[in-house]
Structure 1
Amino acid sequence: MKDLTRFARQPVALAVVLCCAWGAHAQDPLAPATADPGALSPVVVTGERSGGGVWRGAASIDVVDGESLRDGQAQINLSEGLAGVPGLVIRNRQNYAQDLQISVRGYGARATFGVRGVRLFVDGIPASAPDGSGQVANFPLGGADRIEVVRGPMAALYGASSGGALLLYTEEGQHPAQWRTGMVSGSDGLWRLSTQATGKTGAPKEPGWSYALDVSRFATDGTRPQSAADRTNANLKLTRPHEGGRTVLVLNQHSSFALDPQGLERKDLDNGTLKTDPGAISFNTRKSVAQTQLGLAFEQALGGGHKLELMGYGGQRQVVQYQSIPVSSQTGPNNLGSSGGVIDLDRDYWGWNARWRHQGDWQGGRLSLSAGLASDHQSDQRKGYENFIGSTLGVQGKLRRDEANRASTLDPYVQAEWRSKDLTFMGGVRQTRTEYTSSDRYLGNGDDSGRKTFQATLPVVGVRWQWTPAVQAFASVGKGYEIPTLNEVAYRSGGASGFNTQLNAARSTSAELGLRGRAERFGWNATAFDIRTDDEIVVQNNSGGRATFQNAGRTQRQGLELSGNWRHGPVSLVSALTWMQAEYLDAFQTCARAGCPNVFPRVTVPAGNRIPGLPMQQAFVQATWDTGWAGSRVVFETRHVGRVMVNDQNSDSAVGHTLFNLGVHFKQDRGDWTWREFIRVDNLTDRRHVGSVIVNDGNSRFFEPGLGRKLLVGLEAQRRF
């Protein structure tokens, strides 16, 4: 097994006008459209981007600019700058071994680690694997130009497991060249250093390569025992124009090491002690990750409004994780199928996307057509070891698992958009096919090889109507399709290793209806949605870091998203509200504790229970005052999260909470230099709360406590050349 630990430590007017949209964080509603990202754009035709989403499109898309992501933020977690996007739940577990908890309109809520059901892209290159799993730890926040958050039926055009999509685009190098560097320090030994450099080679009349480099390093002692972490990210983008097109090269490298404090039981949470389960300490639970990725994109105009776009990428990811699975669960004649307590994963992945585009005038409007073929592949060499040698715990022991898992996709797609001043029609169809194969090379407990294919056709349509010059209505409907990840099919009922061929994909029908408006000082958006799913994928049992999954029948998610922005002189107000009722329509049986179903019987989940991991209400309000003194700005935030069920039985929940954050930002321009400083206090009232929950944990360690009152200070210097 590779020593990744050593590698990873190397440097390199509704509730204060609650529909007041996503403006201080997004682009101005009256701003011009963002330039077409061309070959690095993923699939969906997004039209004109503006505050609160797509002003002249038929989809729910919010655009958060890079300045908002960085201003007064630690630039460590994606959750810092996206709190005001309605329909998006993004919560910091305070556990860097498991990544953020992200869901979009309820998709992805079951994930016990990483991201499921939501597609991720960085500069058009997938950050999600073909099986739908992903992570956002390698998102280059310091060099981000913007993030687009896609919700609703149109997200299905990104392929299987696309209940939503997060698309990050990095900055483009420009004249004059710029360099900036920044540092942040905070409570619990937290610190971050980062440097960005952008520019262009050559002369303005004969430009060469434009470049954008972002390098960052972060570390923390953690809020609980066994929660320290560190991370290093580096991202380089090179762009070179040529007659009728351009070539883009993207290189990304990520390494991290994190201890895993695991969740808390109810009794420990109520005691108010930020303790860690003894099993995590004794087994020294931890995770190391190393990833390198290279992407190349090419676009060429063909004349007559036609364009060819080609994109290819490849990379390698290595993961080593030590879990706290008891020795007794790995040994003895009743545990021959155990895969041990150490995961050793080597992944090679690659893919490509070839697309034809055409734009032209037609019938008094602008017609955009595209058709393409996308393919993605991953090859996982997965080994499992016992996490003990004799009486010594938390070390690599005997081999218990050795298999090769592969996933491959081949998706043709077609899209069209016709847009005039008063009308927009959007539509598309994507045929998705994913094939899984598993080859077992550890036959001491039988052959656990298997194969399964998932396929579906996903049509979507949408329309936008200009009701008045300041108000629009839009609607869309489409089919969705979520496949289980390779990790979710890796264990059979009871937790034994072996390909779970009984787990099927979930199929859904999603619809949304919305209104949006804009005025000189005010912009707003209101969207209602309804999602009905068959064969919902749910956690059956989750114990010791190992989860098994099953299909639970029908579910329904209905909700309302309200957002907007208002500005008058030096004062601005931004707020967003999400209300969602997510419930099971069919009763089903599941496991309530570790050892089920081999030792303990299943229990019945009645129809009407709420889907766990999802708050019914979520609200965000931010007030900003530009004081006019020394370039200062005062920012006050209120964040509310409603009650969250922790399991399918709804036997316990994390109570709702409201947090208040206060920050003061400063900015000084001195010739070619710009200086920025900030001081920020999160959770002003030191409110005890649950930051996130571990859905259906078999040991009842559901709760991951949120941060108490924390101080954060930062300094950034920028130079133009």
Structure 2
Amino acid sequence: MFRLTPLAHACALLSATALPNLAQAQATALPPGSIERLPTVQVQAARGQQVADVDLPASISTVWLDDDVNGNLAQIADALSGVPGVVARDRQNLAQDTQLSIRGFGARSTFGVRGVRVLVDGVPATMPDGQGQLSHASMLSAQRVEVLRGPFSALYGNSSGGVVQIWSADGQAGDPWRVRMAGGSDGTLSTGAQLRGEQGPVRYNVAANHFRTDGWRDHSAARRESVNARLGTDVAGGTLDLVLNYFDSPDAQDPLGLTREQVRQDPRQATAVATQYNTRKSARQAQAGLVFTRTEGAQTWRAMGYAGQRSVEQYLAIPPGPQANPLHAGGVIDLEGGYGGLDLHWGWQGHWAGRPLEVVIGANADQQQQDRRGYENFVGSELGVRGALRRDQSDRVRNVDQFAQAFWQWAPRWSLLLGVRHSEVRFRSNDHYITARNPDDSGARDYSATTPVAGVVFHASDAWRVYASAGRGFETPTFNELGYRADGAPGLALNLSAARSRNLELGTKWRGSGGAAFEAAVFRADTDDELAVASNTNGRSTYRNIGRTRRQGLEATLLYPISTELEASLAYTYLEATVRQPYLVCASTGCATPNTTVPAGSRLPGVPEQQWFGRLQYQPGAWQWAGEVVASSDTVVNDLATDSAPGYALLNLEAARRWTLAQGALRVFARVDNVLDQRYIGSVIVNDGNQRYFEPGPDRRYSVGVQWAWL
């Protein structure tokens, strides 16, 4: 049974009672004016399937990143704050990237993205093992971000608790070029240029960005350089798109987490060992993707290939003492390798039994080859430098998947979407660091799963849909999670099983005139063999399977144009993420054998129970004014729930002014975040062994910027 708060009950009732009233109000609403009404986007529920988002039996949100976006466009967390079901947290630590989870999937991640699939212009940013990155996604060249939640996420394969896709705009004749500069508190500066348009047969969108900051916390300075390009042309009766990306982030400082007492004393401080060992991370990536699409009559073919190289070097705060163990892998992580893959599918549109039918079948194969080395982080008495080799292995993971789906409008008011995906994921590791006291730790593990999904939509009216969907999903451990055994023994954690989930969703969607929209959904996901953090000490995490868990709740979002110049948007999430089967944990540092029970019904750490978002935007003529409220309930930080990050509510304000000149358009903007200067915890580190669970959010922050666009 769902146990919802009164506010959640109110949101559920709204879907049944408010829609007729809203529809009546919209029938007499003023026509669109100053506020731009964005078109309905054709969203890919799975690769190759294109159906209007309102007609899909799934929760889908689209965030548009147009020329009126304020802020420095540095992280995707800024764009996702108003999407229900999504937790996108800026860690104030660019060495660890954005903390992203969807409906509780991915909340355990201490760095990067896990449990959520990420794609950039159709090219996977999630590797075959389920580990993903958001840092290289260019917000300057992006046109929109799509977020898919619920059962149909499984059609994207392994680790699809949700799907985030970032899409760059396709260059067209007459598109403006623009330069943009924004600066603000803590020495933050973002400069970029975007060239977009059409030259002869080539459509282009090229964006370059430089970002730097001294960081709000001590020892958190960072710099990022990125270039993203999308080039397209018509060839052989279809379209050919080349997607290029380069990203470089050298020596991003890592302030590490803080204890509760450290937060109370000074939330801006870095942990002492962070400066002692100069904890930092460098990341560099270059990749290219090629996409060919051709439509001929009722058939569509699409072929995509991509390849890239990525290197990561990270210095951890592990003391020399533990590294005296001959089985220890050292305090410096050095990863380097390549990745690539192919994706092919074929689609057909026609009729069956006199009703519209669309069928898509396809397959994809992906591979990641990674050389993983570990070094001591000291030489003699000097700390924070690369020392002796302690680990040397070659890791390879590959997947081969096949999928099929069919969309059939089997009656004037009813439609059905069916899909199935079969995935095989293979891990291989060859150990090259073998000594008399360090045995051969080579190993292999294979995982496979078949994940069916189904959804039905009832067209209650031209503007109103009601749907239900169900499906299965699975999530393998990543290579980082397989890298260390929870019992401290040598070798990979090959005893880890894949988590498998059963997902249900019931929802409603409404679209009114002038851009008004309302959506609500209740959902449940039951997971077996949940993957969870076993220990998190000295910057190193180990994992294990803890049994059965449940995530259930409600989401609701409303976009409502009050007038031609005034628009309101609201989003609410209630998420109850709990343990369904008791398990044992260690209750103290140094414990070798778990001895304390986590009872059934306990909250999963890293998942806030409630989230709210509200935005009111007023756009009279050339001016733009906006206010936002972002709020979250408390977040448990460890399995035993002995500590938690308190809830918070933040107020943000924006202002902008545009001048249209003969030579182009000039836009000046300003933003104040956390206007009331609240103290709060921005993100948490789940199950940190040193009880440094907390990454504080910043106090009042200012930013100003200018953008010049010309044809």
1:311 aligned to 2:304? Answer: yes
Residue 390 (structure 1) aligned to one of 370, 377, 380: 380
The 3-state SS of whatever aligns with 1:409 is strand
Aligned residue runs from structure 1 range 44-443, under 5 A: 45-48=49-52, 54-67=53-66, 71-202=69-200, 208-257=201-250, 258-301=252-295, 303-331=296-324, 335-419=325-409, 422-443=413-434
Q: In structure 1, how many angstroms separate the alpha carbons of the residues matched to 2:267 and 2:298?
A: 64
The 3-state SS of whatever aligns with 1:157 is helix
2:504 alignment partner in structure 1: 511
The 3-state SS of whatever aligns with 2:77 is helix
CA contact (8 A) 1:663 1:678 kept: yes
The 3-state SS of whatever aligns with 1:109 is coil
Identical aligned pairs, as a percentage? 41
Structure 2 vs 1, CA of residues 342 and 511 (structure 1 numbering), >3 Å: closer, same or farther?
A: same
1:376 Cα shift? 0.4
The 3-state SS of whatever aligns with 2:74 is coil
The 3-state SS of whatever aligns with 1:110 is coil
1:86 Cα shift? 0.5
1:176 Cα shift? 1.6
1:610 alignment partner in structure 2: 603
Q: In structure 2, how many angstroms separate the alpha carbons of the residues matched to 1:422 and 1:102?
A: 37
**AA matched with 1:102:** L
1:518 Cα shift? 2.5
1:43 aligned to 2:47? Answer: yes
Structure 2 vs 1, CA of residues 380 and 488 (structure 1 numbering), >3 Å: closer, same or farther?
A: same
Residue 573 (structure 1) aligned to one of 560, 568, 584: 568
Q: In structure 1, how many angstroms separate the alpha carbons of the residues matched to 2:48 and 2:627?
A: 35
Q: Deviations over 1:668-708 (max 9, x none)?
A: 22234011111111001100000000000000000000010
1:177 Cα shift? 4.4
The 3-state SS of whatever aligns with 2:159 is coil
Q: In structure 1, how many angstroms separate the alpha carbons of the residues matched to 2:588 and 2:135?
A: 31
Q: Deviations over 1:203-245 (max 9, x none)?
A: xxxxx11111010010000111110001011011110113531
CA contact (8 A) 2:548 2:580 kept: yes
The 3-state SS of whatever aligns with 1:370 is strand
1:462 Cα shift? 0.5
Q: In structure 2, how many angstroms separate the alpha carbons of the residues matched to 1:30 and 1:657?
A: 32
The 3-state SS of whatever aligns with 1:488 is helix
1:31 Cα shift? 5.9
The 3-state SS of whatever aligns with 1:589 is strand
Q: Deviations over 1:460-490 (max 9, x none)?
A: 0011111123321011100010111000000
1:30 Cα shift? 8.1
1:675 alignment partner in structure 2: 666
CA contact (8 A) 1:116 1:132 kept: yes
> Cα RMSD (Å) of the superposition?
2.1
2:6 alignment partner in structure 1: none
The 3-state SS of whatever aligns with 2:154 is helix
CA contact (8 A) 1:112 1:694 kept: yes
1:552 alignment partner in structure 2: 546
Q: In structure 2, how many angstroms separate the alpha carbons of the residues matched to 1:363 and 1:634?
A: 53
Q: Deviations over 1:480-532 (max 9, x none)?
A: 10111000000012445521111110000001001122323532111000100
1:461 alignment partner in structure 2: 454
1:14 Cα shift? 6.3
Aligned residue runs from structure 1 range 490-529, under 5 A: 490-495=483-488, 497-520=490-513, 522-529=516-523
1:62 Cα shift? 0.8
1:305 Cα shift? 1.0
Q: In structure 1, how many angstroms separate the alpha carbons of the residues matched to 2:93 and 2:14?
A: 31
1:585 alignment partner in structure 2: 580
2:706 alignment partner in structure 1: 715
**AA matched with 1:701:** R
CA contact (8 A) 1:18 1:563 kept: no
The 3-state SS of whatever aligns with 1:55 is helix
Q: In structure 1, how many angstroms separate the alpha carbons of the residues matched to 2:161 and 2:321?
A: 39
1:545 Cα shift? 0.9
1:626 Cα shift? 1.7
Q: In structure 2, how many angstroms separate the alpha carbons of the residues matched to 1:243 and 1:443?
A: 54
CA contact (8 A) 1:323 1:544 kept: yes
Bigger mean CA deviation after superposition, 419-428 or 632-641: 419-428
1:246 Cα shift? 1.0
1:307 Cα shift? 2.1
Q: Deviations over 1:114-171 (max 9, x none)?
A: 0000000011100011100011111111111111100000000000100100011101
**AA matched with 1:469:** D
Q: In structure 2, how many angstroms separate the alpha carbons of the residues matched to 1:295 and 1:591?
A: 46
1:695 alignment partner in structure 2: 686
Matched positions, count: 680
Q: In structure 2, how many angstroms separate the alpha carbons of the residues matched to 1:401 and 1:43?
A: 39
CA contact (8 A) 1:560 1:578 kept: yes
Q: In structure 2, how many angstroms separate the alpha carbons of the residues matched to 1:508 and 1:42?
A: 19
Q: In structure 1, how many angstroms separate the alpha carbons of the residues matched to 2:61 and 2:140?
A: 19
The 3-state SS of whatever aligns with 2:479 is coil
Q: Deviations over 1:240-280 (max 9, x none)?
A: 11353111111100000310000000111122442111111
**AA matched with 2:469:** S
The 3-state SS of whatever aligns with 1:512 is strand
The 3-state SS of whatever aligns with 1:447 is coil
Q: In structure 2, how many angstroms separate the alpha carbons of the residues matched to 1:537 and 1:681?
A: 39
Q: In structure 2, how many angstroms separate the alpha carbons of the residues matched to 1:324 and 1:179?
A: 45
Q: Deviations over 1:167-219 (max 9, x none)?
A: 111011111242101001010000100100011122xxxxx111110100100
CA contact (8 A) 2:305 2:341 kept: yes
CA contact (8 A) 2:110 2:686 kept: yes
Bigger mean CA deviation after superposition, 443-452 or 521-530: 521-530
2:3 alignment partner in structure 1: none
**AA matched with 2:424:** R
1:619 alignment partner in structure 2: 612
Structure 2 vs 1, CA of residues 18 and 336 (structure 1 numbering), >3 Å: closer, same or farther?
A: farther
Q: In structure 2, how many angstroms separate the alpha carbons of the residues matched to 1:279 and 1:659?
A: 31
CA contact (8 A) 1:484 1:505 kept: yes
1:639 alignment partner in structure 2: 630
1:537 alignment partner in structure 2: 531
1:362 Cα shift? 3.7
1:423 Cα shift? 2.2
CA contact (8 A) 1:42 1:124 kept: no
Q: In structure 2, how many angstroms separate the alpha carbons of the residues matched to 1:100 and 1:608?
A: 29
**AA matched with 1:437:** R
The 3-state SS of whatever aligns with 2:330 is coil
The 3-state SS of whatever aligns with 1:487 is helix
Q: In structure 2, how many angstroms separate the alpha carbons of the residues matched to 1:193 and 1:593?
A: 47
